[in-house]
C-alpha cells in the first residue's frame, strides 16, 4: 500500500472557516475511502477540455476562466487547426484570434493574454510550455489554478488545482475544509494519499460538477453519501438523464 505522509495524528485537526467556526477534517480512513469510491466508479477520469499538446491545454485553460468547457471546445475546434503553436498563434495576432473566441466570456482580455503569453513562450522558453509553477504563473492570464491544471494534466505532476466545484466538495464533505481555494489546496496537498494525487483534481471536479452540484446536490446517487459530513443533504429522486455514466 502506498504510504501516506503528513497524516494528522487525530481526527479533529481544525481550520477556520469564513464564519470563524472550527471545522474538523474527515479522518484518514474516511479520506482514503472517499478517493477509493471515486476511483472505483471512474478509474481513468478525464477533464472535459479538448487538447492534444501542453500548449493547447494551456490556451484552452486560459480561455476557460469563467466560461464553460463546452464553449471553449467549440472555439478551439476551429482555432487549433489554424494555430496550435505559440508561433502560429502570435502570427494570428489579437485581431486574427478574436473571431475564433468571441463566443467565450471575457474574450477581449483573453485574446490579449493569449497573444502575450505566446510572445513570452517564444522569447523566454524556446516556444515550450514550462514545467514549472513559477514560470507558468509569470505568463499573462495564468494564475495558480491554471498553472496547477497544466502541471497536473499535461505533465502528470501531483498538483490539485482547486476550482469552485472542488472548493465546494471539499468543504461540504470536510475532505479539506478551508475559507479560500488556497487553504483547500494546501490541505489537499498535505493530506491526500500519494496514490490518489494524479487523478484527484479530475475526480473531485467531476463529482462537484455532476453530483455535488451547487444549488441541489444529488445525494440520492452520491457514491460517498455515507462518508460525507454535509448537513444539508438533498435526497430528492434523480432522473436518469442527470446521472453521469460512472455512477451506475
Q: Which residues bind ligand SF4 (CB under 6 A)?
A: 172-173, 211-212, 217-219, 222, 224-225, 228, 230, 233
Give the span between the Cα atoms of 8 and 6, in whole angstroms.
6
State the minimum distance, in angstroms, from the CB of residue 158 to ligand SF4: 23
- Residues sharing a CB contact under 8 Å with residue 110, sequence separation 6 or more, in sequence order: 62, 63, 65, 101, 104, 141
State the minimum distance, in angstroms, from the CB of residue 168 to ligand SF4: 8
Q: Which three cell numbers stand for residue 146?
A: 491554471
Give the span between the Cα atoms of 23 and 203, in whole angstroms.
23
The SS3 assignment for 140 reads coil
> In this complex, which beta carbon is closest to ligand SF4, that of residue 135 or of residue 238?
238
State the minimum distance, in angstroms, from the CB of residue 188 to ligand SF4: 15
Residue 51, judged by CB atoms within 10 A of its CB (0-12, 13-18, 19+), counts as: buried
> In this complex, which beta carbon is closest to ligand SF4, that of residue 56 or of residue 163?
163
State the minimum distance, in angstroms, from the CB of residue 74 to ligand SF4: 29
- Residues sharing a CB contact under 8 Å with residue 76, sequence separation 6 or more, in sequence order: 50, 51, 56, 59, 60, 63, 100
Catalytic residue among 69, 88, 112, 145, which? 145
Q: Report the sign of the C-alpha dihedral through residues 111, 116, 118, 121, in that order.
A: negative
> In this complex, which beta carbon is closest to ligand SF4, that of residue 155 or of residue 230?
230
Catalytic residue among 69, 110, 123, 163, which? 163
Q: What is the DSSP letter of 225?
A: G
> In this complex, which beta carbon is closest to ligand SF4, that of residue 5 or of residue 231?
231
> In this complex, which beta carbon is closest to ligand SF4, that of residue 177 or of residue 217?
217
State the minimum distance, in angstroms, from the CB of residue 230 to ligand SF4: 4
Give the span between the Cα atoms of 244 and 248, in whole angstroms.
8
Catalytic residue check, 145:
yes
Catalytic residue check, 123:
no
Q: Which three cell numbers stand for residue 46?
A: 478525464
- Known catalytic residues are 145, 163
Amino acid at each position: 500500500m502506498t504510504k501516506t505522509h503528513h497524516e494528522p495524528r487525530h481526527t479533529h485537526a481544525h481550520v477556520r472557516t469564513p464564519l470563524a467556526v472550527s471545522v474538523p477534517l474527515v479522518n484518514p480512513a474516511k479520506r482514503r475511502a472517499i478517493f477509493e469510491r471515486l476511483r472505483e466508479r471512474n478509474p481513468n477520469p478525464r477533464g472535459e477540455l479538448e487538447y492534444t499538446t501542453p500548449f493547447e491545454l494551456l490556451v484552452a485553460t486560459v480561455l476557460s476562466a469563467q466560461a464553460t468547457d463546452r464553449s471553449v471546445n467549440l472555439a478551439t475546434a476551429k482555432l487549433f487547426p489554424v494555430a496550435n503553436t505559440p508561433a502560429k498563434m502570435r502570427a494570428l495576432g489579437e485581431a486574427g484570434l478574436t473571431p475564433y473566441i468571441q463566443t467565450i466570456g471575457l474574450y477581449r482580455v483573453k485574446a490579449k493574454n493569449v497573444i502575450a503569453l505566446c510572445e513570452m513562450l517564444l522569447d523566454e522558453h524556446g516556444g515550450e510550455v514550462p514545467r514549472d509553477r513559477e514560470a507558468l504563473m509569470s505568463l499573462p492570464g495564468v494564475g495558480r489554478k491554471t498553472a496547477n491544471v497544466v502541471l497536473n494534466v499535461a505533465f502528470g505532476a501531483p498538483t490539485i488545482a482547486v476550482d469552485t466545484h472542488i472548493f465546494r466538495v471539499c468543504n461540504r464533505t470536510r475532505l479539506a475544509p478551508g475559507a479560500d481555494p488556497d487553504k483547500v489546496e494546501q490541505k489537499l496537498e498535505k493530506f491526500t494519499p500519494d496514490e490518489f494525487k494524479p487523478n484527484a483534481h479530475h475526480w473531485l471536479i467531476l463529482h462537484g460538477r455532476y453530483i455535488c452540484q451547487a444549488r441541489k446536490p444529488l445525494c440520492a446517487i452520491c457514491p460517498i453519501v455515507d462518508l460525507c459530513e454535509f448537513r444539508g443533504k438533498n435526497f430528492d429522486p434523480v432522473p436518469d438523464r442527470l446521472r453521469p455514466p460512472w455512477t451506475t
